[in-house]
């Protein structure tokens, strides 16, 4: 039990995928202009990441390893993630139009989110079991959502702040991201994982 808790804390804070491992930077910069969209993106990513880390674990364990074709992992995982996102989108469109509207365009965008593939690959690299994989994916997604929401909230305030002209727009956003990244490094040593 303690082990699982450590995985969650480790992925959310210590080894945060965006600010420490620098995965999934594209949505981090792209979808963080408003808090609402950031939360939507975070929800969609959490859903897909958890599901895809489970599916890629199953695929790796029961198809790739028995057949001795682990070297095709990347292609197989990309395939699984893309199919999963498409399938989820279709089912969601049919069964829950409200959620479909909330997640909207963010769902297909996740297909190309490198954090999703990164989590799947790291899972196999670190030889996680089934529950560990699922928790690792979930924790990574929670960390991603947390940072995205924090960053969006900061950016909403930056817009109304008196920023010097050369720093306006993306420049100040990147500087802010860098400072957040440094702040998150303060979590290193919180757990040894």
Partner 1 sequence: MLNAILSISLLALAFGLLLGYSAIRFRVEGDPLVERIDAILPQTQCGQCGFPGCRPYAEAIAADSAEINRCPPGGETAMLALADLLGRDPVPLDGEAAEEAEPVLAVIAEQECIGCTLCIQACPVDAILGAAKQMHTVIASECTGCGLCLPPCPVECIRLEPLKVDTGSWRWPFPTTPHDQMKAG
Binding site for partner 1 (CB under 8 A): 63, 67-69, 72, 75-76, 79-80, 83, 86-87, 90-91, 93-95
78 CB-contact burial (10 Å; exposed 0-12 / middle 13-18 / buried 19+): middle
Least Å distance, CB 25 to partner 1, is 28
Least Å distance, CB 128 to partner 1, is 22
Nearer CB in complex with partner 1: 59/141: 59
Nearer CB in complex with partner 1: 66/166: 66
Cα separation, 20 vs 185, in Å, equals 7
Least Å distance, CB 59 to partner 1, is 8
Nearer CB in complex with partner 1: 69/188: 69
Q: What is the CB neighbour count within 10 angstroms for residue 182?
A: 10
Q: Which residues of 31-59 are buried (b: 16+ CB within 10 A; e: fewer)?
A: bbeebebbbbbbbbbbbbbbbbbbbbbeb
Least Å distance, CB 110 to partner 1, is 16
């Amino acid at each position: 039990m303690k082990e699982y808790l450590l995985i969650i804390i480790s992925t959310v804070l210590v080894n945060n995928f965006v600010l420490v491992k620098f995965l999934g930077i594209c949505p981090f910069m792209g979808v963080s202009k408003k808090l609402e969209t950031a939360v939507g993106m975070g929800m969609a990513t959490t859903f897909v990441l958890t599901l895809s880390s489970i599916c890629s674990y199953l695929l790796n364990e029961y198809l790739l390893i028995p057949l001795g074709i682990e070297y095709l992992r990347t292609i197989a995982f990309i395939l699984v993630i893309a199919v999963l996102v498409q399938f989820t989108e279709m089912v969601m469109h049919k069964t829950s139009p409200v959620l479909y509207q909330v997640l909207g365009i963010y769902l297909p965008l996740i297909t190309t989110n490198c954090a999703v593939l990164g989590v799947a690959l790291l899972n196999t690299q670190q030889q996680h079991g089934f529950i560990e994989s699922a928790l690792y994916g979930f924790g990574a997604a929670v960390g991603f959502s947390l940072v995205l929401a924090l960053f969006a909230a900061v950016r909403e305030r930056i817009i109304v702040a008196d920023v010097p002209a050369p720093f306006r727009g993306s420049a100040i956003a990147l500087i802010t991201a860098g400072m957040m990244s440094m702040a998150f490094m303060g979590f290193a040593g919180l757990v040894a994982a």
